[in-house]
Amino acid sequence: MLREVTATRYVEPLRAGGSVPGIVEADDLGTYVVKFTGSAQGRKALVAEVIVGELARALGLRFPELVLAHFDPAIAESEPHQEVRELHGASAGLNLGMDYLPGAKDFTPEVAKEFRVDSLEAGRIIWLDALTVNVDRTVHSSNLMIWPTLGIAPPRLWLIDHGAALVFHHRWDTSDPAKAYDFRHHALGHYAPDVRAADAELAPRVTEELLRRIVAEVPDAWLTDSGTPDRARAAYVEYLHARVRATAAWLPTDFPTREELAAEEALRAARTQQGRPNWLKRVPDLHGKPAAEQDWSVHLG
């Protein structure tokens, strides 16, 4: 089960994303990025974070430890921004913390040109994203970190931010477990990902027993949209187990090369420029452009 900690010191908010998580210190002397129950994304984003994050860990992928973080808004009363204080006020009680990785860097397209990723590791990550329908690990928003960046240990890829996964739990009644999704622009698509080998390795490990154990870690209070918590847990297990049995229908195998991605981007930019009025054509098109390399403290959202 996820450990429980109590936040003892509020360090700062993270404003790079819409959910405005915060860095806190806790009574176990750890430092965590806390995602709040009162954020606009709601509790289902936290459910996705737990299920996908713990599934990643169970399959041997690198993912920061998750904890259940008790948060008292009083420790952040010095926060100067009213909207952040309101978020804290709506999040008193149990929230989700992710172990803070000091010095970790964004896996940006610029970094990706120099960083080597094994084809099987790329395949495993893409397989997990396809299984859990994670639509937010693209070339422009990788939700991948490189850590450590200092010291004797070599840098490794770490997965973060799975709140946008499990899109099916927003519309259970119309979701097909065998549905395919477009993963052509996945952040690791140009590393020749061996998705078939990943499927052969990982699919047999995603059993009903494993899924039940992982879903059991989600707090009851976050499982109120599908009847009782027990019914909600059963629905997640049933859906994901059905999806893992249908890999032949959704396994992504067609990925563009870096050159093809660059050509697509150039064509998109040209079309955008053609549609602009003359006075705007002198303004650079920033849509879809990757941000400069950032550290962990400005990335998470």
Q: Return the pLDDT at 265.
A: 78
Answer with the residue of higher pLDDT: 263 or 5.
Answer: 5
What dihedral angle (degrees, nearest 10) is formed by the CA atoms of 149, 151, 156, 157? -30
Q: Return the pLDDT at 53.
A: 98
Buried b (16+ CB within 10 A) or exposed e, 228-261: ebeebbebbbebbbebbebbeebbbeebbeeeeb
Q: Return the pLDDT at 280.
A: 53
pLDDT in tens, 86-145: 999 999 999 999 999 999 999 998 888 889 999 999 999 999 999 999 999 998 899 999
- With residue 9 as reference, give the H or E element that holds it: strand 3-13
- pLDDT bin (cut points 50, 70, 90) of residue 225 is confident
The mean pLDDT of 206-228, rounded to a whole number, is 94
Report the Cα 269 to chain-centroid distance in Å. 27
Given strand 105-106, what is the order of strands in its sheet?
A: 105-106, 144-147, 156-159
Cβ proximity of 223 and 215 under 8 Å: no
Q: Which residue has the tokens 């974070």?
A: 49
Judged by average pLDDT, the poorest of 187-196, 237-246, 285-294 is 285-294
- Return the half-sphere exposure (C-beta side, CA atoms, 13 A cut-off) of residue 107: 24
- pLDDT bin (cut points 50, 70, 90) of residue 172 is confident
% of the chain exceeding 90 in pLDDT: 73
Name 32's bridge partners: 24, 99
Q: Note the pTM of the prediction, 2 decimals.
A: 0.87
Q: Return the pLDDT at 240.
A: 98
pLDDT at 186 over 90: yes
Cβ proximity of 187 and 144 under 8 Å: yes
Q: How many CB atoms lie within 10 A of CB 269?
A: 15
Cβ proximity of 243 and 213 under 8 Å: no
Burial of 14 (0-12, 13-18, 19+ CB in 10 A): buried
The mean pLDDT of 264-272, rounded to a whole number, is 80
